[in-house]
Chain A
């Protein structure tokens, strides 16, 4: 009886997906392509703006992308001018993955370079909980901070707390994920998820054999940064009439990734392109092809060193759009400028470099650990490289 039920459930579930029949071009024609409806997070204007910025040139000191700005719109900060040394507070969404770890270490190093201006740097980790971060911000507001930096855990849900912080008059600087309010003095982030997703998908779509099959590997559903990446990739694939045979969630688990890739190879014989919304499991995906004895198709990863090394060693056809960790330096720089009454750009759009075949060697550093993010902009900071090891 249980088995019978299993059959029913499985077949129902199987039927309910718009899974394309094995073949060159499947998918329900009504939606125009095989990747389904666009997420409700998709904002067409933002998408267009980000794509435009990919080609723009940044202003600011050369070789210091963390101080550069794309399309600057300066705002006046004279009202926040204050004599130092300062107390700077930081409400952090989480520290639970290598990207945030590398970023936070970079930020700490940046703080160290300003010892003369920063008397105290207070950091509170919300452990990935919206609820705790709201409480944390509230808590920090009672601590006489001269500036408050927030890296929100979720855009929508942290908005009220950030607004409350703005109302107290403390200069608020938001980076990484944004908030749905314009009250912070500045919002710092690189070009963004659409750009990331677009670059990877363009590469994969171009390099793969025409009419081939692409497998999209995603980390989790429902995380806004990741959703925007997929939204952009969808547009590229749909426009290029690429057959996206599957969109799977890996939970960032390499074992799960390998199993999924393995089963897709089994099911379709070959997979001609891999697109990923984050690089964490890129190496596992490549390994799955190697272990199955299949050629590794065009793939995108991120700037984590294990992937870059594999790329180099295995001569992969690959690209690494980045979401640079050097953006963790900028909030500190911005905070100090604001407290000095200097103008800053709002939004502060940082360049978002892409690692390609051509510049790969610049980012390969044999001494750094495999999960280090190459685009940290940290080589000149105090404590390098030991701090990041």
Chain B
């Protein structure tokens, strides 16, 4: 009941990045206590670089979630793209650029298909992208006979693995970090643009948006394409970081959705910032690193992760006045 809302002015704008900044701050303090040298430029840079893929996936997932949908296919899309890239490049440096272009285009195409099925066939995106997940995994296994073939070239891997050396103060700055910073700026600008505002409005109230002339289906489809593109870039970085394997993207869709929700973005759409989503991903990565530093046993880690997610989301749900 909208009319019964309390009138008090909210101290923090709901969906803003402040809560996630607070959590991130606490984790940083814990890191500073436990592992002070982690905050030295060199290791911080490498941490940020290796976190780039999940940050990108969170940003991509943000576009979809804020418009009121889900994208469960990104993890398998990353896997598929890495495997495809490896097989097509097959260690030949000359093929690097065309294959990278192909990776981006095909990832965008998968996003487009997700968007079209969701918008025009009216299939709930949870189902569309769940089906797409199965199709992608099945197809890529089928195509590669169940075992990735070929090899990524060093040129391809450089983006996820190498760094700009000898930067004053910072030391080495990973290419992945530069790419993620650039894309973060672009994403922020995009969300401040007309399209970004329309995207959030679609997630908030698609009916109202449609009656204001918004092409809801098209807008959401673009969100899926953006998510696909993000997955494509993430595949390039992740493939670069760790090489080809079928595990490259497994489970990343849930990590990305978790990160987005941690970042204060409402499932169902209409609220939250892309900065919050990306910070959510960074927080999640920092949590994993922290667990490494604290030597949390590998087997209880999921429990710690689950508890923290539930607590963080429960607290923000309790703070949010809308029911």
Whether the complex brings A and B within 8 Å at their CB atoms is answered: yes
- Tell me the A residues contacting B by CB distance below 8 Å: 1-7, 9-11, 13-14, 16-17, 19, 95-98, 100-102, 218, 221, 246-249, 251-260, 262-264, 266-267, 280-281, 283-284, 287, 291-292, 306, 369-371, 389
Given the known inter-chain contacts A95-B146, A266-B38, A369-B149, please indicate yes or no for A254 contacting B311, CB distance below 8 A. Answer: no
Q: Which of B38, B288, B295 contacts A17 (CB 8 A)?
A: B295
B6 on the interface (CB 8 Å rule)? no
Complex: chain A residue closest to B288, CB-CB: A259
Cβ of B36 to closest chain A Cβ, rounded Å: 11
B297 on the interface (CB 8 Å rule)? yes
Q: Which of B23, B141, B146, B242 contacts A6 (CB 8 A)?
A: B23
A251 touches B308 (CB 8 A): no
Among B92-100, B124-132, B222-230, B245-253, the stretch in contact with A: B245-253
Q: Which of B5-22 contact A (CB under 8 A)?
A: 19, 22
B311 touches A6 (CB 8 A): yes
Cβ of A13 to closest chain B Cβ, rounded Å: 4
Which residues of A sit under 8 angstroms from B274, Cβ to Cβ?
Answer: none
B292 touches A7 (CB 8 A): no
Per DSSP, chain B at the interface is helix
B196 on the interface (CB 8 Å rule)? no
Given the known inter-chain contacts A98-B148, A254-B242, please indicate yes or no for A17 contacting B311, CB distance below 8 A. Answer: no
A interface footprint on B162-190 (CB within 8 Å = 1, 0 otherwise): 00000000000000000000000000000
Q: Which of A3, A4, A100, A252 contacts B245 (CB 8 A)?
A: A252
Cα-based distance from A256 to B241 in the complex (angstroms):
10
Cα-based distance from A139 to B197 in the complex (angstroms):
57
Cβ of A368 to closest chain B Cβ, rounded Å: 10
Q: Which of A11, A251, A283, A389 contacts B243 (CB 8 A)?
A: A283
B312 touches A2 (CB 8 A): yes
B245 touches A254 (CB 8 A): yes
Cβ of B46 to closest chain A Cβ, rounded Å: 7
Q: Which 5 pairs from chain A and chain B are nearest by CB?
A: A19-B295, A254-B242, A263-B292, A14-B294, A3-B26
Cβ of A123 to closest chain B Cβ, rounded Å: 13
Complex: chain B residue closest to A248, CB-CB: B298
Cα-based distance from A95 to B291 in the complex (angstroms):
33
Given the known inter-chain contacts A9-B307, A267-B35, A283-B243, please indicate yes or no for A259 contacting B289, CB distance below 8 A. Answer: yes
B117 on the interface (CB 8 Å rule)? no
Which residues of B sit under 8 angstroms from A259, Cβ to Cβ?
Answer: 50, 288-289, 292
B250 touches A251 (CB 8 A): yes
A389 touches B149 (CB 8 A): yes
A10 touches B30 (CB 8 A): yes
Which residues of A sit under 8 angstroms from B289, Cβ to Cβ?
Answer: 259, 263
Cβ of A129 to closest chain B Cβ, rounded Å: 15
B243 touches A287 (CB 8 A): yes
Cα-based distance from A246 to B291 in the complex (angstroms):
12
Q: Which of B25-63 contact A (CB under 8 A)?
A: 25-27, 30, 35, 37-38, 43, 46-47, 50, 53
A1 touches B27 (CB 8 A): no
B316 touches A2 (CB 8 A): yes
Chain B residues within 8 Å of chain A by Cβ, number: 57
Cα-based distance from A78 to B143 in the complex (angstroms):
44
Instruction: Name 12 interchain pairs, CB-CB below 8 A, sorted by A.
Output: A5-B308, A5-B311, A5-B315, A6-B308, A13-B294, A19-B294, A100-B146, A254-B245, A255-B248, A259-B50, A262-B50, A287-B161
Cβ of B185 to closest chain A Cβ, rounded Å: 25
Cα-based distance from A280 to B242 in the complex (angstroms):
12
B315 touches A284 (CB 8 A): no
Cβ of B229 to closest chain A Cβ, rounded Å: 20
Cα-based distance from A98 to B148 in the complex (angstroms):
8
Give how many A-B residue pairs fall within 8 Å (CB-CB): 157
Which residues of B sit under 8 angstroms from A266, Cβ to Cβ?
Answer: 35, 37-38, 43, 293
Which residues of B sit under 8 angstroms from A256, Cβ to Cβ?
Answer: 247
Q: Which of B151, B246, B248 contacts A370 (CB 8 A)?
A: B151
B243 touches A262 (CB 8 A): no
B296 on the interface (CB 8 Å rule)? yes
A interface footprint on B205-230 (CB within 8 Å = 1, 0 otherwise): 00000000000000000000000000
A interface footprint on B281-301 (CB within 8 Å = 1, 0 otherwise): 000000111111111111110
Q: Which of A5, A14, A98, A258 contacts B242 (CB 8 A)?
A: A258
Cα-based distance from A290 to B246 in the complex (angstroms):
23
Cα-based distance from A102 to B149 in the complex (angstroms):
12
Q: Which of B238, B242, B291 contacts A13 (CB 8 A)?
A: B291
A10 touches B290 (CB 8 A): yes
A267 touches B242 (CB 8 A): no
Cα-based distance from A262 to B42 in the complex (angstroms):
12
Cα-based distance from A14 to B297 in the complex (angstroms):
8
Complex: chain B residue closest to A267, CB-CB: B293
A258 touches B50 (CB 8 A): yes
Which residues of A sit under 8 angstroms from B297, Cβ to Cβ?
Answer: 13, 16-17, 247
Q: Which of B46, B300, B311, B316 contacts A292 (CB 8 A)?
A: B46
B247 touches A254 (CB 8 A): yes
Q: Which of A9, A262, A369, A371 contacts B308 (CB 8 A)?
A: A9
Cβ of A3 to closest chain B Cβ, rounded Å: 4
Given the known inter-chain contacts A14-B296, A17-B296, please indicate yes or no for A255 contacting B35, CB distance below 8 A. Answer: no
Q: Which of A249, A254, A262 contacts B298 (CB 8 A)?
A: A249
Which residues of A sit under 8 angstroms from B287, Cβ to Cβ?
Answer: 6
Which residues of B sit under 8 angstroms from A371, Cβ to Cβ?
Answer: 147-149
Cα-based distance from A259 to B255 in the complex (angstroms):
16
B3 on the interface (CB 8 Å rule)? no
Which residues of B sit under 8 angstroms from A249, Cβ to Cβ?
Answer: 298-299
Cβ of B308 to closest chain A Cβ, rounded Å: 5
Q: Which of A3, A13, A100, A101 contacts B300 (CB 8 A)?
A: A13
B304 on the interface (CB 8 Å rule)? yes
Which residues of A sit under 8 angstroms from B146, Cβ to Cβ?
Answer: 95-98, 100-101
